[in-house]
Amino acid sequence: MKVKYPSWAVLVGALAVGALLQGAISLGLLNTYQALILTYVCIMVVSSLGLNIIYGFTGQFSLGHAAFFGLGAYTAALVTHYSSV
């Protein structure tokens, strides 16, 4: 049996987890490498959820998410390379 949570409960839970992670990073409980890995995990989760919504629920195969993901990565690489950030 599937348990359905109200949408506000999911949002509050996600915000609480985000606040805890931000607090752990700002207090120095996580080092730079661990924060980087958590950032990559969050990026992949958002990308996977978007693909799951399109392909999983509707059955439509779309590479648009991957194209925007790649375009964002390419833009970030160019900006960091040329602006010396």
More confident residue, 3 or 33: 33
Pair (7, 24) in one structural domain: yes
Q: How far apart are CA 42 and CA 6, in angstroms?
A: 22
pLDDT in tens, 28-60: 888 889 888 988 888 888 878 877 877 777 777
**Residues 45, 49, 51: CA angle, nearest 5 degrees:** 120
What tokens does 77 get? 């690489």
Residue 62: give the domain boundaries. Answer: 31-85
Pair (40, 22) in one structural domain: no
Which residue is listed with tokens 């160019």?
Answer: 78
Pair (49, 10) in one structural domain: no
| Count of domains for the chain | 2
pTM: 0.59
Pair (45, 78) in one structural domain: yes
Pair (62, 77) in one structural domain: yes
Pair (6, 42) in one structural domain: no
Pair (9, 46) in one structural domain: no
Pair (47, 78) in one structural domain: yes
